[in-house]
Amino acid sequence: MTIENVGAICFGLVIGWITYRTLRRSTGTAISDLAAVIAAVGGGAVTLLFDTKIPFAYYSIGLAAGFFLYFIIAMLYNKENVDSWMSDK
């Protein structure tokens, strides 16, 4: 598996996660959540302006690492609220 493939998988994971959580919320979809998806896709599109796809791969891996690392750290600091994060509310 090449770095481009790993990057594409990471990018898809983050975009899929944000889209899933945005659509699943019972209180409605927030514009800021959709803006986050658009910003991530736009950032990836900018890296495709280069002749090689390697910058997109590293951007995607960094995006996924930062996204999931933030989620893990937030869960560690807010252990009492983890159940509410995983619910539909």
Would you state the pLDDT for residue 78?
76
Domain spans of the chain?
3-86
Model-level pTM? 0.65
Evaluate whether 57 touches 4 at the Cβ level (below 8 Å): yes
Three-state DSSP class for 33? helix
Per-residue pLDDT reduced to its tens digit, 39-85: 878 887 877 777 777 888 888 888 888 888 887 887 787 776 666 65
Would you state the pLDDT for residue 54?
82
Query: What is the dihedral angle through the alpha carbons of 40, 8, 70, 88, rounded to the nearest 10 degrees?
Result: 80
State how far the Cα of 37 lies from the Cα of 24, in Å rounded to an integer: 15
pLDDT tops 80 at residue 31? no
Determine the angle formed by the axes of helices 3-24 and 31-47, rounding to 10 degrees. Answer: 170
Would you state the pLDDT for residue 23?
66
pLDDT tops 80 at residue 27? no
Return all residues near 30 (Cβ < 8 A) that are at least 6 apart.
Answer: 22
